[in-house]
């Protein structure tokens, strides 16, 4: 995998939206953060644009992202927010110039489409918080982005929760994944990734428990869970249930789906739709170490 060039003070970071509409005012915390780091924010034409729930129509969102991909002065693209819409514009993108001059693509949630699509091109991306919400996150969530952008040594350690469901062990492999619902929605497309020998990360928000089960069963039946090197589960936040309960939590559903395999499995990683949403380098060959009390993800 190719690692995009690291940034230095004075470099330009574009902020665009591939999905839901967003105002300039909502992005102020992200803009101020970039300026604090000595970087130059450049707002795209999608910022403030509106077509129903989208940040302008599909053509505008495609053109805005394309312009930033092809702009040699732009050293990173920070997606403004998630929502829905990236899948509607990704097939209109031309990555020819991007392949010659890779740059960091940053975001999460709906941006999982781009992480997966660009993984198949062979370039690393950053699964991380976005300008619209970065002001509500932990200090660690913001500093993790800075560490990766500026090429600092980076690893994540967190307590090993869900001890009855955790499976200890060590593994290494390329990190892939993102939002479970989005991964499920792009299966069979040009953006779907081969997970064999890789460490899969998943997270989700505001889903019905039976649908978590449906998605995990799909990943299992299509072989995406069988040959993993490891599984890292982030935030599974604000789940919903039916009047007749499903009978299992989201983490229990996930644990059951991978119970017949032997690779290490951990839960409650500090990434996803949670306050402590730390950055992950997608495509990076990472080292995963899961013990009874602690989990380490080493990106170095």
Which positions are annotated as active-site residues?
Answer: 109, 203, 273
Q: How far apart are CA 127 and CA 134, in angstroms?
A: 13
> Can you spell out the DSSP letters for 150-190?
TT---EEEEE---TTT-B-EEEEEEEEEEEHHHHHHTTTST
Exposure string for 27-50, b = 16+ CB within 10 A, e = fewer: beebbebbeebebebbbbbbbbbe
The backbone torsions φ and ψ at residue 241, rounded to the nearest 5 degrees and listed phi first, read: -135, 160
- Which tokens in the block code for residue 300? 């170095």
The backbone torsions φ and ψ at residue 164, rounded to the nearest 5 degrees and listed phi first, read: -70, -25
Q: Which helix (H) or strand (E) holds 118?
A: helix 112-119
> Can you spell out the DSSP letters for 230-265?
EEEEEEEES-B--SS--SS-HHHHHHHHTTT--S-E
User: Could you give the angle at the alpha carbon of 130 between the alpha carbons of 233 and 71, nearest 5°?
Assistant: 120
Q: How far apart are CA 195 and CA 49, in angstroms?
A: 36
Q: Which helix (H) or strand (E) holds 295?
A: strand 294-298
DSSP label at 41? E
Check: CB of residue 290 under 8 Å from CB of residue 255.
no
Q: How far apart are CA 254 and CA 125, in angstroms?
A: 25
**For residue 257, with 0-12 CB atoms within 10 Å meaning exposed, 13-18 middle and 19 or more buried, which class applies?**
buried
């Amino acid at each position: 995998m190719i690692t995009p060039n690291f940034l230095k003070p004075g470099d330009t970071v574009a902020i665009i939206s591939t999905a839901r509409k967003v105002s300039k005012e909502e992005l102020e915390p992200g803009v101020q953060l970039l300026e604090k780091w000595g970087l130059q924010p450049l707002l795209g034409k999608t910022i403030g644009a509106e077509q129903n729930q989208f940040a302008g129509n599909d053509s505008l969102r495609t053109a805005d992202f394309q312009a930033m991909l092809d702009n040699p002065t732009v050293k990173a693209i920070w997606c403004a927010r998630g929502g829905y819409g990236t899948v509607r514009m990704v097939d209109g993108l031309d990555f020819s110039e991007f392949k010659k001059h890779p740059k960091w693509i940053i975001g999460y949630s709906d941006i999982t489409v781009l992480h997966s699509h660009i993984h198949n091109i062979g370039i690393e991306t950053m699964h991380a918080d976005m300008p619209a919400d970065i002001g509500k996150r932990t200090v660690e969530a913001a500093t993790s982005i800075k560490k990766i952008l500026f090429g600092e040594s980076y690893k994540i350690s967190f307590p090993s929760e869900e001890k009855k469901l955790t499976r200890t062990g060590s593994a290494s492999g390329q990190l892939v994944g993102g939002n479970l619902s989005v991964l499920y929605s792009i299966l069979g497309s040009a953006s779907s990734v081969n997970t064999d020998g890789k460490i899969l990360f998943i997270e989700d928000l505001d889903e019905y428990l039976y649908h978590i089960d449906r998605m995990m069963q799909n990943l299992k039946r299509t072989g995406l869970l069988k040959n993993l090197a490891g599984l890292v589960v982030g935030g599974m936040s604000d789940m919903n249930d039916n009047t007749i309960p499903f009978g299992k939590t989201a983490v229990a559903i996930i644990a059951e789906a991978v119970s017949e395999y032997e690779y290490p499995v951990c839960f409650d990683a500090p990434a996803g739709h949670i306050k402590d949403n730390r950055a992950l380098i997608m495509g990076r060959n990472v080292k995963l170490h899961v013990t009874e009390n602690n989990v380490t993800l080493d990106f170095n």
